[in-house]
Amino acid sequence: MKKLLSLLLAAAMVLGLCVSASAAPTHLTFSYIEFYPQDATERSAVVAALNEYLIPNYDIEVEFNPIQFSEFNSSFGTSVVAFDPYDVIPVFYNNVSGWIKAEAMTDLTPYLETEDGKAIIDAIGEQNARVSSINGFIYGLPASKESVELGGLWMRKDICDELGLTEKYGLESNKDTYDGHARPWSEAAEIFQTVKDAHPEMIPLYMSSSDQTARFYFVDQLLDRFGVLDWQADHDSTRVVNEFETETFKNLCKMLADWYDKGYIYKDAATDQQGSATMIKAGNTFSYATAIKPGFLAEANATNGREGYVLYFGDYVEGGISSGNVAFFGLGIADSCENKDAAFKFLRALYTDPVVMNFWQFGIEGQDYKVLEDGTAYFADGVDNSNFKYFQNTGWAAGNQFIGYVWNDGSKKADYWDLLKSHNTWSYYSPAFGFMWDSSAYATQITALNSALETYRAALLTGSVGSANVDATIEQLNSALYASGLQTVIDAKQAQLDEWLAVNGPTQTPQEDLDLINSVK
């Protein structure tokens, strides 16, 4: 407590000095989601240090408002639509529409025309800067991260070694960069059978109740999955169709049900909420389906507390990128913000100024982290993953992590950001990339559709319905969806998409991406 007071005092003095030196800087609240617990005293110290830099350079004094993910999903939304005073706030593409409808968000379109906006566009590209938009209303800026989801399996190293899977599939420790070679998912069954034969007590594949379709195939879900572009059938199609009537969906459900019947999949998958790490740690689980990217293996091994291998699976060498993939998490400005220009300037700092990004992500250099010889960063001496006081590690959820330090967790090198960017080139853009549909006039249908889908989703996509019931269940799902107004939604979506295409034209995949993909095909 004393420490906190003295730090606050120090911070106040620093601020006081600056205030007397120039006109008062603009005070801003920066709300962000804190995924890992932090030490409050250390956080205040970081804020004080960051302000020492921000005030002279940006004339902004910032206050951190960390929110828990649970708060973000419950009370924070209420607080935002109740028009509480906020400045920079986190946005999630799934629930932002309610905030826009309630006129609680600021449209960033005019701000992107300013000098600050141009700087941001230079940093993350025109396409990404404008992707978080509904009906021309740009509600936020996306976090810079891997935007293509290439799926595969994380598998336990010891079991793979023991059963000869390592040689058979050419598995290597620390090999997680995609090289254009993915196996069809149907081949995974062989691996599961091998494991099951040798270790009958083991769960070959862990799945949970969260939606994992994207690990198995890509379609452009057009935000809410009710009416999609069937990328699997035709990469260039702009016809909105019902995903749950496609062959792709049926085949996936059949494959999973077959796996479930054969005892490959965790029996409690349809209701499980534990997460893969808990299961792997417990030692009775062999693998789980996951999105893989360069650097994934080291992160996963640390989380899982065990060594593993990864193997890419999928029916195409490339992945697809939709608006949702990029817009996932981001930062926006609340409409209650009193100084929106300054808030946008702070956003610019988070997207273009490494100093700001490093302060926020890693804390104070020398105290919380140190810079290694190769230019990467790691915990300061005496600090590690178990006792850190400040380490956000959430560059994937907000801001532009590509400008900051690479976090050297043992596997990453200074060129890691390039590796991640090149991972993104293994992708084919959905023709509707940049389009987000405005569902606000269809809230009734969307509510009913969600309920209909949720009734059957987990059972179908974890295989727990069983092979015998797949066809009947899919039929039930579809009739429930149509009864809930699916056709109305598909028609409305198609009309909005056509309108958008008439103005913007279908989004093209960059030539270098196509070249890379074709070189492997």
Q: Shortest Cβ distance from residue 495 to another protein (Å)?
A: 20
Q: Which CB atom, from 138 or from 334, has the smaller least distance to another protein?
A: 334
Q: Which CB atom, from 166 or from 336, has the smaller least distance to another protein?
A: 336
158 binds another protein per the rule CB under 8 A? no
Report whether 446 contacts 224 (CB < 8 A).
Answer: yes
The per-residue DSSP string of 166-178 comes to HHHHT--TT----
Q: Which of 12, 19, 443, 472: binder of another protein (CB under 8 A)?
A: 443
437 binds another protein per the rule CB under 8 A? no
Cα 41 from chain centroid (whole Å): 29
The token pair at 64 is 């951190």
Q: Which of 84, 179, 236, 415: binder of another protein (CB under 8 A)?
A: 84
Q: Which CB atom, from 316 or from 328, has the smaller least distance to another protein?
A: 328
Report whether 37 contacts 386 (CB < 8 A).
Answer: no
Q: Which of 149, 220, 243, 368: binder of another protein (CB under 8 A)?
A: 149
Q: Which of 286, 379, 456, 500: binder of another protein (CB under 8 A)?
A: 456
Q: Which CB atom, from 145 or from 345, has the smaller least distance to another protein?
A: 145
Q: Shortest Cβ distance from residue 86 to another protein (Å)?
A: 11
3-state secondary structure of 34: coil
Q: Which CB atom, from 89 or from 121, has the smaller least distance to another protein?
A: 89
26 binds another protein per the rule CB under 8 A? no
Q: Which CB atom, from 17 or from 443, has the smaller least distance to another protein?
A: 443
214 binds another protein per the rule CB under 8 A? yes
3 binds another protein per the rule CB under 8 A? no
Q: What span, in angstroms and rounded, lies between the C-alpha atoms of 428 and 233? A: 14
Report whether 248 contacts 230 (CB < 8 A).
Answer: yes
57 binds another protein per the rule CB under 8 A? no
Q: Which CB atom, from 121 or from 377, has the smaller least distance to another protein?
A: 377
Q: Which CB atom, from 97 or from 132, has the smaller least distance to another protein?
A: 97
The token pair at 376 is 């990467």
3-state secondary structure of 416: helix
410 binds another protein per the rule CB under 8 A? no
164 binds another protein per the rule CB under 8 A? no
Q: Shortest Cβ distance from residue 125 to another protein (Å)?
A: 20
Within positions 342 to 401, which residues make up the interface with another protein, using CB under 8 A?
Answer: 394, 396-397
**C-alpha angle 59/64/67, rounded to 5°?**
150
Phi, then psi, of 153 in degrees rounded to 5: -120, 140
Q: What span, in angstroms and rounded, lies between the C-alpha atoms of 155 and 168? A: 14
Query: Distance between the two ends of the chain, CA-based, in angstroms?
Result: 62
Within positions 316 to 345, which residues make up the interface with another protein, using CB under 8 A?
Answer: 328, 335-336
Place of tokens 């992590």: 401
Question: Which residues have C-beta within 8 Å of that of residue 13, sequence separation ≥ 6?
Answer: none
Alpha helices for 59-104 (secondary structure H): 69-73, 75-81, 96-101
Which burial class, exposed, middle or buried, applies to 515 when counting CB atoms under 10 A from its CB (0-12, 13-18, 19+)? Answer: exposed
3-state secondary structure of 184: coil
The token pair at 336 is 């209650």
Q: Which CB atom, from 101 or from 250, has the smaller least distance to another protein?
A: 101
Handedness of CA 434, 440, 445, 447 (dihedral sign): positive
Within positions 99 to 118, which residues make up the interface with another protein, using CB under 8 A?
Answer: 99, 101-104
211 binds another protein per the rule CB under 8 A? yes
478 binds another protein per the rule CB under 8 A? no
How many residues of this chain bind another protein (CB under 8 A)? 91
Q: Shortest Cβ distance from residue 396 to another protein (Å)?
A: 4
**C-alpha angle 179/183/187, rounded to 5°?**
160
Q: Which CB atom, from 33 or from 380, has the smaller least distance to another protein?
A: 33
Q: Shortest Cβ distance from residue 304 to another protein (Å)?
A: 7
The token pair at 513 is 């991406």
Q: What span, in angstroms and rounded, lies between the C-alpha atoms of 370 and 388? A: 13
Within positions 255 to 294, which residues make up the interface with another protein, using CB under 8 A?
Answer: 266-268, 270-279, 281-284, 290-291, 293
Instruction: Please report which helix (H) or strand (E) contains residue 65, including its range.
Output: strand 60-67
Q: Which of 77-85, 134-142, 315-323, 367-375 is the region at the interface with another protein (rule: CB under 8 A)?
A: 77-85
Q: Which of 7, 8, 14, 81: binder of another protein (CB under 8 A)?
A: 81
Q: Which CB atom, from 198 or from 282, has the smaller least distance to another protein?
A: 282
